[in-house]
Chains A and B, each alone.
Chain A
Amino acid sequence: MRKPKPLQKVRRYLITALILAIFCFPLYWAIINSIKTPLDTFAGSWIPFLQFKPTVANWTEELGNWETRRALSNSAIVSVCSTGIVLCIGTLAAFSLASFKFHKMKNQDITIWFLSQRVMPPVVFIVPFFMLMRSLKLIDTLYALILINVTFTLPFAVIIMQESFRGIPTELTDAALVDGASYGQIFYKIALPLASGGLIAVGIICLAMVWNEFIFALSLSYDQATLMPVLIAGAEHTRGVQFWYVAVRVLLTISLPMIIALFVQRYLVRGLTLGAVKG
Chain B
Amino acid sequence: MKKNQIKFAFLLPAVVWVLAFTIFPLIYSVRLSFFSYRLGRGETFVGGRNFVQAFTYPRFWGSLQTTFSIVLVAVGIEILLGLLFAWHFNREVQGDKVFRTLITLPLFATPVAVGYLGITLFYETSGPINMILSLFNIHVPWLSHPFWAKVSVILLDVWIWTPFCFLVFLAGFHTISEEIYEAAYMDTNSELQIFRHITLPLLLPVMGIVIALRLVEAFKVFDVPYSLLLGGPGTSTEVYPLLVYRTALKNFDFGSASALSLILLAIVMCIVIIFFRQLRKVYE
A268 contact set on B, CB distance < 8 A: 104, 167
Asked if B60 CB lies within 8 Å of chain A CBs, one says no
Q: How far is the CA of A108 from the CA of B18 in the complex (A)?
A: 17
Task: Name the CB-closest residue of A to B107.
Answer: A261
* Bound complex: CA A132 to CA B127 (Å): 43
Q: How many Cβ-Cβ contacts under 8 Å join chain A to chain B?
A: 283
Minimum CB distance partner of B7 in chain A: A100
Restricting to B48-104, which residues have a CB under 8 Å from any CB of A?
85, 88-89, 91, 93, 95, 97, 99-104
Say which residue of A100, A233, A265 sits within 8 Å of B112 (CB atoms).
A233
Whether A254 contacts B113 by the Cβ 8 Å rule is yes
Binding site for B on A (CB under 8 A): 1-2, 4, 12, 15-16, 19-20, 23-27, 29-30, 33, 41-44, 46, 89-90, 92-93, 95-97, 99-100, 102, 108, 110-112, 114-117, 119-132, 147-148, 150-151, 154-155, 158, 182-184, 187, 208, 211-212, 214-215, 218-219, 228-229, 232-233, 235-236, 241, 243, 246-247, 249-250, 253-254, 257-258, 260-262, 265, 268-269, 272-279
A238 to B206, CA, bound (A): 47
* A66–chain B nearest beta-carbon distance, Å: 21
Q: Is the CB of A117 within 8 A of B22?
A: yes
B residues 115-143 in Cβ contact with A at 8 Å: 116-117, 119-121, 123, 125-128, 131
Q: Determine the chain A residues whose CB is within 8 A of the CB of B276 once the complex forms.
A: 112, 115-116
User: Contact between A123 and B261 (Cβ–Cβ < 8 Å)?
Assistant: yes
Q: Are B22 and A120 in contact (CB under 8 A)?
A: yes
**Residue in B125, B128, B210 with the greatest tally of chain A CB atoms within 10 Å:** B128
- For A108, the chain B residues whose CB sits under 8 A away are 280, 283-284
Are the C-beta atoms of B249 and A130 separated by less than 8 Å? yes
Could you tell me if B112 and A121 are in contact, using CB atoms closer than 8 angstroms? no
A250 and B117 contact, Cβ closer than 8 Å, known pairs A2-B185, A23-B102, A96-B7: yes
Nearest Cβ on chain A to B158's Cβ, whole angstroms: 10
Contact A277-B172, Cβ < 8 Å, known A96-B10, A127-B254: yes
Q: How far is the CA of A157 from the CA of B11 in the complex (A)?
A: 13
Q: List 28 A-B contacts (CB under 8 A).
A: A16-B89, A19-B103, A89-B13, A90-B14, A97-B11, A108-B284, A112-B280, A123-B222, A124-B264, A128-B26, A131-B28, A151-B17, A154-B18, A183-B1, A183-B10, A212-B110, A215-B241, A215-B245, A219-B245, A232-B113, A233-B226, A247-B120, A250-B116, A258-B105, A276-B282, A276-B283, A277-B171, A277-B209
Q: Looking at A90, A128, A129, A211, which has the most chain B CB atoms within 10 Å of its CB?
A: A128
Closest Cβ of chain B to A277, distance in Å, is 5
Contact of B249 among A23, A89, A126, A147 (CB under 8 A): A126
Q: Is the CB of B28 within 8 A of A128?
A: yes
Q: Contact at A151–B22, with CB atoms within 8 Å? A: yes
* Cβ-based interface call for B202 (8 A): no
Task: Name the 10 nearest CB pairs between A and B, nearest first.
Answer: A44-B126, A128-B25, A93-B14, A96-B10, A100-B7, A123-B241, A151-B21, A257-B108, A261-B108, A279-B171
Q: What's the least CB distance linking B64 to chain A, in Å? A: 13
Beta-carbon contact of B167 and A24 below 8 Å: no
The docked-state distance in angstroms from the alpha carbon of A246 to that of B113 is: 8
